Amino acid sequence: MRENTDGFRLRTADGASNQCHVGAFRPNFGSVSRGFSVPYQKNFSIAILLPLHPHSLTSTIIMDGTGKGLLLKADPIAASFREEVQSTLVQRDRPPKLIGILATSSEPSRMYSEFTKKQCEALGFEYILKKTGAALSSDLAEGEGVEEAIVEANEDERVDGVLVYFPIFGVQQDHYLQQVVSPLKDVEGLHFKFHYNLYHNIRFLRPQFLTVTTHSNDAGLTVAENDEPPAGMVKSIIPCTPLAIVKCLEYVGVYNKILPYGDRAYGKTVCVINRSEVVGRPLAALLANDGARVFSVDIDSIQEYNKRPSAEVSSQRQYYPRHVVRPSNLSLQECIALSDVVISAVPNANYKVYTAWLKDGCVCVNVAAEKNFESNVREKASIYIPAVGKVTILMLLRNLLRLQHYKTILQTTP
């Protein structure tokens, strides 16, 4: 076993050592975008460590003598959102309709489509799977007809949400397809409009903004006293997995609810390893916009994200980015040692986060299908969350409910 220059240790079954690189990737079911993991292009990880704060952790907690910390499964975290989704659903005239588009022969993507169907049916949502390309017939190419299927779903008034099972072609072409999905039906929050809002800390928007092609100074709002949209505005859609991770951190007390809205992660240091546009960079921005100091680690650099001081924000520039990004000269080990929060989402069974590097009393969150932390992680961590997939799917369904509501507003507003 050895340590490579990036500070990652990989251990194979036969004791061999391999190097794990981190970089951009586009996940699918089993991928970190939805709380699971499969290899795609480059592996990625996030780490989160944090002192334990008082919270009602009364369910699905296991203390089995394998460490000092608590093993907290995602079930109780997901339960509160399941109740929220169900209570919202019963108030609707009809259940939202979600179209899943499967265009490849990928087994993880097929499995995720089955998982989506199961969750939708259990909660009372309508789910339809549209197969195209290699998913429909072995005589068709991977991804064949996928853009046409997206456009068809966009134009179908009976459809409230569109979920495309990526990866299909690769990062750049898949990114194009993410922009083809109508922002009015983008349950994953991957459209540029939503990413733009996220990186500019625009938390609320006017529903009409989703139907126009350009940005307007009157389209969104960056300053608010709480998470309730002002009159005439609605919440912007946030990518599912970064949001699910934030909700997990809120649950265990990383976010201080006594502090003002928008500063509740103040005083916390977070290390996010990976800067993908699906998980790593959105998560770093979300945390920084909430006041955290964030180390964003990629294969070739480490950056530090911080919330921009309010004195630097000009009222004449409503869309000025609300976080500041600067290069860091710290090593990965130094970043992790300083951090209060570590999340790992490396789609590689050989990747392990050093327990020895973790800060005493931290919270560790595993986002990958594989266990990225060593078996003794709770010797250092006060809380270890082994998966977030059950929270991620509820964030997706909550987005679906919101998009259905936004469409209703547009249809009833002159």
Task: Report d(CA 41, CA 347) in Å as an integer.
Answer: 10
> What is the bridge-based pairing of β-strands 97-102 and 161-164?
parallel
Write out the two tokens for 310.
């309010």
The closest of 163, 167, 170 to 149, measured between CA atoms, is 163
Task: Report d(CA 305, CA 384) in Å as an integer.
Answer: 24
Task: Report d(CA 330, CA 241) in Å as an integer.
Answer: 27
Helix (H, G, I), strand (E, B) or coil at 331: coil
Task: Report d(CA 374, CA 313) in Å as an integer.
Answer: 43
The DSSP secondary-structure symbol of 271 reads E
Task: Report d(CA 302, CA 335) in Å as an integer.
Answer: 9
Give yes or no: 240 in active site. yes
Single out the catalytic residue among 20, 240, 248, 362: 240
Is residue 191 within 8 A of residue 154, CB to CB? The reply is no
For 274-392, list the strands marked E by DSSP.
Answer: 293-297, 302-307, 323-327, 341-344, 351-352, 362-366, 381-385
Write out the two tokens for 247.
């909700």
Residues belonging to the active site: 240
